[in-house]
Amino acid sequence: MGDVILTMKGIDKSFPGVHALDHVDLEVRKGEVHALMGENGAGKSTLMKVLTGIYHKDAGTITYEGKEVEFTNPREAQDAGIVIVHQELNMMGHLTVAQNIFIGREYMNGKLIDDKKMNEEAKKLFDQLGINIDPKETMSRLTVGKQQMCEIAKAISHEAKVIIFDEPSAALTEAEIEELFKIIRDLRDKQMGIVYISHRMDEIKVITDRVTVMRDGGYVGTLITKDSTKDDIINMMVGRVIYEDPKTESQVAPDAPVVLKVEHLNAGRMVKDVSFELHKGEILGFSGLMGAGRTETARALFGADPKDSGDIYVNGQKVDIKTPQDAVKCGIGYLSEDRKRFGIVVDKTVAENSTMASMENFMKGIFIDKKKEKDTAQEYVEALKTKTPSVDQLVVNLSGGNQQKVVIAKWLVRNCDILIFDEPTRGIDVGAKSEIYHLMNELVAEGKSIIMISSEMTEILRMSDRIVVMCEGRKTGELGIEEATQERIMHAATLRN
Amino acid sequence: MTDKKNGNAFTNNPLVRAIGLQKIVVVIVLIALIAFFSAVSPSFRQYSTLLSIMDYTYYLAFLGIGVTFCLITGGVDLSIGTGMFCYALIGGYLITRQGMPVIVGILVTLICGLIMGIVNGLIVSKGGHAPFLATLCTMMIARGLGAIATGGASVTWPGATAPNGWTRSLFKLTVGEIKLPLGFLWVMILAVVMSIVLNKTRTGRYIIAIGSNKEATRLSGINVAKYQTMAYVFSGIFTGLAALAYSSAFQSMAPGGGGGVELNAIGGAIIGGTSMSGGAGSISGTILGVFIMSVLQTGLPLIGLQANYQQIIIGLVLIVAVYIDVLKNKKLDK
Amino acid sequence: MKKKVLAAILAATMVVGLTACGGSKDATTTTTPDAATEETTDDAAAPAADASGMSFEIVSKGLQHQYWQAVKKGVEQKAAELGVTVNFVGPDSESNISQQVQQLESALNANPTAVGLAALDTESVKDLLQKAKDSNIPVVGFDSGVPGAPEGSVLANCSTDNYAAGALAAEKVYEAVKDQVANATAPVRVGVVAQDATSESVINRGLGFIDKFAELAKADGKTANVVGNDKYIADSKAEKTDGADVVIDVRVPASVTSELSAADATALMNEKDTIAIYGSNEHSANAIITANENLNKCGVGEGKIVAAGFDSGAAQIQAVKDGVLLGSITQAPVAMGETLVQLLYDAATGNTAAVKDTDTGCQWYTAENCGDAEIAQNLYE
């Protein structure tokens, strides 16, 4: 670790009604990877937005390279050498890789853009990073992982001295994460200061040098990573101890009836001859690497994507599910991995979202029974302990974990007995995670059945009664929780043809 | 997994990808249409038919080029149809009723287009109105203004033989006995210029970026409002040019007219591969698409099809084109 | 703030637009506020014998075409002469029936002395005509009038006999192609470009032409047939024979725009057997002229197509002078406007004997006679 390059001291920021940052400190040195951790709503993003000039601080100082600075927009911060690699990729899919990297500061040849030069420069950047991407390729044709590499290349091309990674690994495969880490280590060796925001505790241990923890908009403390344990960090984040012990035996009664049976399901290239059963009161984990076809299986089952062949039985009855409406009629609810796009309507209230899938039960003639809607929503807000000032709050204002709870409420209101959770805790912080887990356990105890798709091994081992493993569209393993280990699951998940 | 998500040897062929599959299909369809009309109607094979097709192409091409920029930003400009009539009415009114020099009429026509473009652009970019609604409103305003400006009377631009009818020679030059479709040259020159603007200048690049991902463009430090406005300004200026081309080809126009023309132009752009959802589009594609529309408009009456059936066929063609656009977007989402 | 700027821009644009057309409007409405209020307070008591208190509401079929502007001119001249107030309105387009109904309704609500009406669609104004009758407001039809109006609701019509005018065009055109028809070994085609198949006047001009042409051909021992638009085929009184010597081909565009009508004209003139073509109003005649710019076929003689128009306008007059059109029919719109106001005045003053249907006449004009004063007054640019 080298000298201090960036110091944020006593940063304070309020929005109407919210004290978002309460005298927060952060210090980044040259040649370190500095983790910024905290639950959602802890203020990490706000702090970074203050740093890069999207928000203006109310109090505090930012010292960068020995001088006090205050950026008024991201462009200024960029020009000074502070750049963010965003969690949600900020890519123009229709432009080429090189065009994306140099957007806003194109190489010009008189009045015309010099694309040739831009391709050459992009190529140089990629060579420097040791990655193989064609600068002339259209961005939308790249995988998410490659797109992320482009974002990093773009950041570096700004001659960045401080790079902020905002949950960079969320959508990457294991191999891509390895590649990402290699690049980050390279950047560290080049004496850049790196801020790394992530929820994945394992990654923090592997890649970072120091950890700064925030909670409820306040600064909690900074630790040297290698001198602290996972539990130390988690305790600082939530102020309470969380156990991540694997489940040791199935909680399902041996004679529990089969509520859902899928036989020889085929759909497109990603679902090939998948069969499985789901019992009443069971949590069936779906494990596998990115691109194993788990989400595709769920979507085909739910009628969101067309099936090529295969039979589905609900409670022993053969059903014909062609559309999501059919699935809902059969009592199947699907909680998408991408909440913002498929799960909730962000600019509607909690109450409206809760009842959206079962409108017909909330009608008074042709009008919506607003009172009944609110009462029901309130009931579920209490039952699920959703943190919202009222059911009239717009969902957009809730944190990720609470948004997820609203989605769960939506399907519970609809009386769905079979719930498909697709990455239920993605982008949700540790505290909210354990609440969601608790909730899922309560649901199965009440006799609901759950299919849980998850990329997190600890989540699979902690929650599932039984585990289906997929690889490249095929089911490659099925393990009872008693026999499941990380190694066995990983073995099945890599069973390629 | 490979980066090339789907497609086969043909669609992944570098040449096919460079030109764009849709454009290749459009050229084939265009050739097929011309072959069909030529086979069915002997009169389609005459030189004069080429002149007719050109009459329809000029104004649609100008409207198409302009609106392509709006479509690429993810917006649309519905005011171009009635706008074209409005500006031509005002310009023609000044020439024929007020006795002003032709050049004044032409300039006023173009300036009207420019002003409307700026107004549309500001309403959309600064006012934050949905482009569909904003330009639907200005479409009505243009219709009304055209009628008010001329006192509700129809306007006829000077005829080819009239002393001040030289504007018509700009598009159709008579050399001895032969009429040359000179306007085609202007369309081609402007198409090339605007193609360069779209693909090789910052303005064009940022217009594509806005249509592809507006938020990301903003975060890249680009003045989104400015370039969004520019798209509508292009559309306005080209609507002014279209007004000149229309009055040159068809001479007279009545107030209240022009509604529906915008759909032919937008249709042409979409046939040529410009996406309604923004980000993708090309001027060359639009020109090809516009040719499909103008060949249909000229050819269908020649094979003796009654008017209402012609409308149905053009409508069907548009449905197919929009459907292809929807399919493409679905593919992109996957 | 933004809204204010926007409003200012719009207002400025409007002002520019209004100033540009201001000149032509001054003569029309000169009613003072006083006159208007008097009108509404005491009109029921005694019909004003004094012309200065009279106000006529005239609802035309449009204001766009120069034809209507000429009618308006006649109306204004006569109104000034009689010293009455006239308000002349019309819908934005000749297909905007609902707008015309609204205009008629507001005209009646203004409680005028009398109303002049050229209905786009009789059915849709029937109720209002009844209302006018109930409130004792006399109604006089003009131009195409109000065909099929309920008995007694329209006192009289002053109009061109469109059917006769169309027939006159047919006579002149037939005269020019008589030999070609007589000597033809194969069927010949006569094209009719019609703006629509809904307006009574446009239909009658077409039918008058079709019927007369067929009749003349028959007199020369030839058979005729009508093809194209179904409405014209059905309504034509001509004897229709399959495989006839003379085919009369009627084209109607899907909507009234120059480019669609030009396409129709182009298609007709491209038919190898076409010997003549007729456009039944200014719009359609312009379409023929536009088509001819590419085809260069109009004229008299071997391989040429004899073309005739209807009404006038700058382009059409020039085409007649250039010999592109053999000639054209002009109505007498100025006279029509004058006659209308006279009839309204007569009706308002109780001079019932004078209120009767009046043909305002038509003329055939060519390159030779278009300069004559009698004709020139009815030609407008």
ipTM of this predicted complex? 0.84
- Of the listed ranges A13-22, A374-383, B181-190, the least confidently predicted one is A13-22
C180 and C120 share a domain?
no
How close A141 comes to chain B (CA, Å)?
6
- Residues 83 to 112 of C: which have CB under 8 A from any B CB? 90, 92-93, 96
Mutate to test the interface with B, among A75, A91, A99, A141 (most CBs of B within 10 A): A141
Structure pTM?
0.74
Pair of tokens at residue C228: 């194209």
- pLDDT at position A341 is 64
pLDDT digits (tens, 9 = 90+) for A138-151: 998 888 778 888 88
Q: Which two tokens stand for residue C59?
A: 């609802």
- How far is residue C39's CA from residue C233's CA, in Å, rounded to a whole number? 50
Out of A314-318, A490-494, C68-72, pick the least confident. Answer: A490-494
Residues C184 and C145 in one domain: no
Do residues C156 and C38 both lie within one domain?
yes
Average pLDDT score, chain A: 86
Contacting residues of A for B209, CB less than 8 Å apart: 92, 95, 103
* Structure confidence at residue C48 as a pLDDT band (50, 70, 90): very low
CA distance A350 to A215: 25
Question: Per the structure block, which two tokens stand in for C169?
Answer: 């065009």
Q: Does C68 touch chain B (CB under 8 A)?
A: yes
In a domain, C378, yes or no: no
- Residue A283: the pLDDT is 95
- Domain presence at residue C372: no
Residue given tokens 């053969």 in the structure block: A318
Give the pLDDT score at A301: 93
Give start and end residues of each alpha helix (H) in C184-322: 200-219, 230-235, 258-270, 282-295, 314-322
Kind and range of the H or E run holding A470: strand A466-471
Place of tokens 């299919």: A451
Distance (Å, whole) CA A203 – CA B245: 64
Q: How far apart are CA A286 and CA A469, in angstroms?
A: 6
Q: Which is more confident, A437 or C191?
A: C191
Indicate whether C210 and C148 sit together in one domain.
Answer: no
Residue C88 has φ and ψ, to the nearest 5°, of -105, 115
Q: Which of A296-300, B160-164, C103-107, C184-188 has the lowest mean pLDDT?
A: B160-164
CA neighbours closer than 13 Å in the CB half-sphere of residue C164? 9
Q: Answer whether B123 touches C (CB < 8 Å).
A: yes
Is C225 a member of any domain?
yes
Q: How high is the pLDDT of residue A73?
A: 83
- In A396-460, DSSP assigns E strands to 418-422, 449-453
* Type of residue numbered A390: S
Closest residue in B to C20 (Cα–Cα):
B149
Q: Examine chains A and C and say if they touch (3+ CB pairs below 8 A).
A: no
* C-alpha distance from B62 to closest chain C C-alpha (Å): 16
Higher pLDDT, C231 or B305: C231
- Is C24 inside any structural domain? no
Which residue segment(s) compose the domain that C281 sits in? 162-330
Distances (CA, A) of A232 to A235, A246, A456: 5, 20, 21
Distance CA A94, CA B273 (A): 13
Residue of B73, B199, B205, B208 best to disrupt the A interface, most CBs of A under 10 A: B205
* Percent with pLDDT over 90 in chain A: 34
Nearest by CB: B310 against C254, C256, C258: C254
The reply to whether residue B127 touches residue C6, judged by beta carbons under 8 angstroms, is yes
| Residue of A74, A86, A146 with shortest CB distance to B3 | A146
* Residue range A343-377, pLDDT digits in tens: 777 778 888 888 888 888 888 888 888 888 899 88
**Closest to C309 in 3D by CA, of C301, C318, C40:** C318
What are the pLDDT digits (tens) for B130-173?
999 999 999 999 999 988 888 777 788 887 777 777 888 888 88
Residue % of chain A over a pLDDT of 70: 94
C197 to chain B, any CB pair closer than 8 A? The answer is no
Contact B297/C256, CB-based, under 8 Å? no
Q: How far apart are CA C192 and CA C248, in angstroms?
A: 7
Q: Check: CB of residue B180 under 8 Å from CB of residue C49.
A: no
Q: How confident is the model at residue A489 (pLDDT cuts 50, 70, 90)?
A: confident
Q: Cα–Cα distance between C296 and C327 in angstroms, integer? A: 17
pLDDT single digits (tens) A458-480: 788 889 999 999 988 899 999 99
CB contact under 8 A, C296 and B49: no
- Same-domain check for residues C293 and C316: yes
CA–CA separation, A336 vs A404, rounded Å?
10
Per the structure, the count of domains in chain C is 2
Please judge whether C272 and B43 are an interchain contact, meaning their C-beta atoms are less than 8 angstroms apart. yes
> How many CB atoms are closer than 10 A to CB C7?
10
Mutate to test the interface with B, among C58, C68, C250, C257 (most CBs of B within 10 A): C257
C283-331 pLDDT, tens digit each: 999 999 999 988 889 988 888 999 999 988 888 998 999 999 999 999 8
Contact between chains at C64 and B151 (C-beta distance less than 8 A): no
pLDDT at residue A497 above 70? Answer: no
CATH number at residue C122: 3.40.50.2300
Q: Structural domain boundaries of chain B?
A: 21-32+44-333
Tell me, what DSSP letter sits at residue A247?
A: P
Look at B306 and C229 and tell me if their CB atoms are within 8 Å: yes
Task: Please give the mean pLDDT across all residues of chain C.
Answer: 83
A109-113, B318-322, C169-173, range with the lowest pLDDT: B318-322
Same domain membership, residue C45 and residue C127 = yes
Q: Is residue C25 part of a domain?
A: no
Q: Which of B193, B208, B205, B194 is nearest to A108 (CA)?
A: B205
Residue B147 is predicted with a pLDDT of 85
pLDDT in tens, B87-127: 999 999 999 888 899 999 999 999 999 999 999 999 999 99
CB pairs under 8 A between A and B: 65
Among A247, A248, A231, A228, which Cα is nearest to A239's?
Answer: A231
Per-residue CA distances from A322 to A140, A263, A313, A326, A429 (Å): 29, 16, 14, 6, 35
Task: State the Cα–Cα distance between residues C115 and C154, nearest whole angstrom.
Answer: 10
Alpha-carbon distance of A39 to A235, in angstroms, equals: 11
Chain C hits for B301, Cβ within 8 Å: 251, 263-264, 266-267
Q: Quick check: do B and A touch, 3+ CB pairs under 8 A?
A: yes
Query: C323-363: per-residue pLDDT in tens?
Result: 999 999 998 888 899 999 999 999 888 888 888 888 888 89
pLDDT for C165? 93
The C-alpha angle B173, B177, B181, rounded to 5 degrees, equals: 30
CA-to-CA distance for A24 and A219, rounded, in angstroms?
5
The reply to whether C259 touches chain B by the CB within 8 Å rule is yes
Query: What would the pLDDT profile of A119-170 be if each residue is shown by its tens digit?
Result: 999 999 999 888 889 999 999 888 877 888 888 888 888 888 999 998 787 6
Residue B330 burial (C-beta neighbours within 10 Å; 0-12, 13-18, 19+): exposed
β partners of residue B296: none
Q: Does residue C184 share a domain with residue C106?
A: no
Per-residue confidence (pLDDT) for residue A89, from 0 to 100:
65
Of A92, A113, A143, the CB nearest to B201: A113
Measured between CA atoms, the residue of chain A closest to residue B278 is A94
Cα distance between residue B242 and residue C329, in whole Å: 33
Q: What is the pLDDT of residue A245?
A: 65
Distance separating alpha carbons of residues A196 and B194, to the nearest angstrom: 44
Instruction: Please report, rounded to a whole number, the percentage of residues in chain C having pLDDT higher than 90.
Output: 44
The answer to the question of residue C27 being in a domain is no
* Contact state of B162 with C318 under an 8 Å Cβ cutoff: yes
Closest chain B residue to the Cα of C197, Cα to Cα: B307
Distance CA C27, CA C86 (A): 10
How many residues does this entry show for chain B?
Answer: 334
C50 C-beta neighbours (distance < 10 Å), count: 8
Q: Which residues of B touch A141 (CB under 8 A)?
A: 3-5
CB atoms B42 and C65 under 8 Å: no
Return residues 333-352 of C near B (CB < 8 Å).
none
Angle at C375 between CA C369 and CA C380, to 5 degrees: 110
The third-level CATH classification (topology) of the domain covering B21-32+44-333 is: ABC transporter involved in vitamin B12 uptake, BtuC (1.10.3470)
Does B160 touch chain C if contact means CB atoms closer than 8 Å?
yes
Element holding C140 (H helix, E strand): strand C139-142
C173 & C280 share domain: yes
Alpha carbon distance C193, C230 (integer Å): 14
Q: Which residues of C touch B261 (CB under 8 A)?
A: 257
Whether residues C68 and C166 share a domain: the answer is no
Comparing C-alpha atoms, which of C127, C169, C120, C167 is closest to residue C147?
C120
Q: Which of C270, C305, C320, C321 to mutate against chain B (most B CBs within 10 Å)?
A: C270
Give the whole-angstrom CA distance, residue A13 versus residue A162: 22
According to DSSP, residue A342 is labeled: I
CB contact under 8 A, A92 and B217: yes
Partner residue facing B301 (CB), from C3, C263, C322: C263
pLDDT above 90: residue C41: no
Inter-axis angle of helices B202-212 and B47-72, to 10 degrees? Answer: 70
pLDDT in tens, A437-461: 888 998 899 899 999 998 777 788 8
Q: Is the pLDDT of residue A275 over 60?
A: yes
State whether C182 and C129 are in the same domain: no
CB contact under 8 Å between A95 and B196, yes or no, is: no
B315 interfacial to chain C (CB closer than 8 Å)? no
- Provide the chain C residues 305-324 that lie in CB contact (below 8 A) with chain B: 313-315, 318-319, 322
Mean local confidence (pLDDT), B231-255: 92
Give, in degrees to the nearest 5, the angle at Cα C373 between C370 and C379: 55
The answer to whether residue C308 is domain-embedded is yes
More confident position, A397 or C183: C183
Residue with tokens 């409406």: A325
Percent of chain C with pLDDT over 70: 86
Residues of A with CB under 8 A from a CB of B: 73-75, 78, 86, 90-95, 99, 103-104, 106, 108, 111-113, 115, 137, 140-143, 146, 291
Look at strands C246-251 and C139-142 and give their pairing. Answer: unpaired
Beta strands in chain B (DSSP E): 155-156, 173-175, 178-180, 252-253
**pLDDT-above-70 percentage for chain B:** 93
